């Protein structure tokens, strides 16, 4: 059995000790670079199984049709919108998942927020070039500011709790947010437009769906307070990139912290790389030692169970 581990950007996949427990007739090959569909189809042709690191590489039906040998896909996490499950089922490909941790994404959200409001990257760059505060602006305060949380699920509720610890007023909205859930998490339930118009920081923690795609467009960004910040560690297409670029260029928003994008990896010539007042990270939300420990432990279990004819965590 030949297994490909896709998008091992940091060359860490095979460092986990669990791989050593696989049967000797299972060969594991990491792919360190992100491959376009045609090249990926050629490279994956001799493999029986593919491991997807979250949604770094889409596996649509058109690609699966070009991989007649593929029998198993293992995705990190128990959901992956980039895998065509119906096409996999039709072709007899088993798809399995893993457990996950949410703490890393919550922590990165606050890393982006704090970097934005205190201008940490700019201050670091200035100091290294010999500038001591000169020309810099005072940072914003979190205490008594309003944090707007879009989505109060497993991640959003924990982001809200940190905001409360900072002494922030925390307001929240999602299409399914009930008064009971708001009370349980200690947030103030408001309308979508009210959240945008009253929040000093808006942070996105919604699943990407047809309902949330483009949720924050030109109208919505115009509703945000002048000088507010936007943070997105969820999925890029929830925010209209063109509208966000326009709002940043016009100076309406104080800044944006982004970990996710419409196209990933982000192209080298993408205008966001030159947008003012931004802190950008390359989809690091789940990239942590603890998260990878869970992912690779379960990935190896999934491969071993399939190899033994008894698949587990089947999606």
Average pLDDT, the chain: 95
User: Do 245 and 185 lie in a common domain?
Assistant: yes
The pLDDT score that the predictor gives to residue 138 is: 85
Same domain, residue pair 49 and 185: no
Catalytic residue among 54, 205, 283, 307: 283
Q: Looking at the domain assignment, is residue 270 inside a domain?
A: yes
Q: What's the mean pLDDT in 140-165?
A: 97
- Classify residue 312: in a domain, yes or no: no
The pTM of the full predicted model, rounded to 2 decimals, is 0.92
**Average pLDDT in the 230-253 region?**
97
Catalytic residue among 235, 241, 301, 307: 235
Q: What is the pLDDT of residue 37?
A: 87
Domain count, the chain: 2
Q: Mean per-residue pLDDT for 46-62?
A: 96
Task: Give the strand order in the sheet containing 229-232.
Answer: 188-189, 169-173, 146-150, 201-204, 229-232, 255-258, 278-280
Which residue's entry shows tokens 């003012």?
276
Q: 89: domain CATH number? A: 3.40.50.720
Domain membership of residue 261 (yes or no) is yes
CB 288 within 8 Å of CB 104? yes
Is residue 170 predicted with pLDDT exceeding 90? Answer: yes
Q: Is it the case that residue 223 has pLDDT exceeding 90?
A: yes
Q: How far apart are CA 242 and CA 245, in angstroms?
A: 5
Residues 235 and 144 in one domain: yes
Q: Residue 68: is its pLDDT beyond 80? A: yes
Q: Does the active-site annotation cover 283?
A: yes
**Catalytic pick among 56, 71, 264, 270:** 264
Write out the residue range of the structural domain in which residue 301 sits: 2-101+288-307
- Does residue 168 sit in the same domain as residue 204? yes
In a domain? residue 231: yes
Q: Is 188 known to be catalytic?
A: no
Active site residue 71: no
CA 254 to chain centroid: 22
pLDDT at residue 134 in the model: 73
Task: Quick: pLDDT tens for 82-138.
Answer: 999 999 999 999 999 999 887 999 999 999 999 999 999 999 999 999 999 876 678
Residue 22, pLDDT > 80, answer yes
């Amino acid at each position: 059995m030949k297994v490909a581990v896709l998008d091992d950007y940091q060359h860490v996949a095979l460092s986990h000790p669990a791989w050593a427990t696989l049967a000797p007739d299972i060969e594991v090959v990491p792919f360190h670079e992100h491959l376009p569909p045609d090249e990926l189809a050629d490279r994956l042709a001799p493999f029986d199984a593919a491991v997807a690191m979250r949604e770094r590489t889409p596996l649509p039906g058109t690609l699966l049709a070009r991989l007649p040998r593929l029998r198993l896909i293992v995705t990190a996490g128990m959901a992956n919108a980039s895998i065509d499950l119906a096409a996999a089922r039709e072709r007899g490909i088993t798809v399995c998942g893993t457990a996950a941790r949410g703490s890393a994404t919550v922590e990165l959200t606050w890393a982006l927020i704090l970097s934005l409001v205190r201008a940490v990257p700019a201050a670091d760059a200035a100091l290294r070039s010999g500038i001591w505060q000169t020309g810099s602006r005072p940072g914003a305060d979190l205490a008594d500011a309003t944090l707007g949380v879009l989505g109060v699920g497993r991640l959003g509720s924990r982001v809200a709790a940190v905001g409360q610890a900072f002494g922030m007023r925390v307001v929240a909205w999602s299409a399914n947010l009930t008064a009971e859930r708001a009370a349980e998490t200690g947030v103030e339930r408001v309308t979508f437009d009210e959240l945008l118009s009253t929040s000093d920081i808006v942070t996105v923690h919604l699943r990407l769906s047809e309902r949330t795609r483009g949720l924050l467009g030109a109208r919505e960004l115009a509703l945000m307070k002048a000088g507010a910040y936007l943070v997105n560690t969820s999925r890029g297409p929830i925010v209209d990139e063109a509208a966000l670029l326009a709002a940043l260029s016009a100076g309406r928003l104080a800044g944006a912290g982004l970990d996710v994008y419409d196209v990933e990896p982000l192209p080298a010539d993408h205008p966001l790389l030159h947008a003012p007042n931004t802190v950008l990270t390359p989809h690091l939300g789940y990239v942590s030692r603890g998260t990878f420990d869970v992912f690779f432990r379960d990935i190896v279990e999934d491969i071993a169970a399939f190899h033994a004819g008894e698949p587990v965590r089947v999606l």
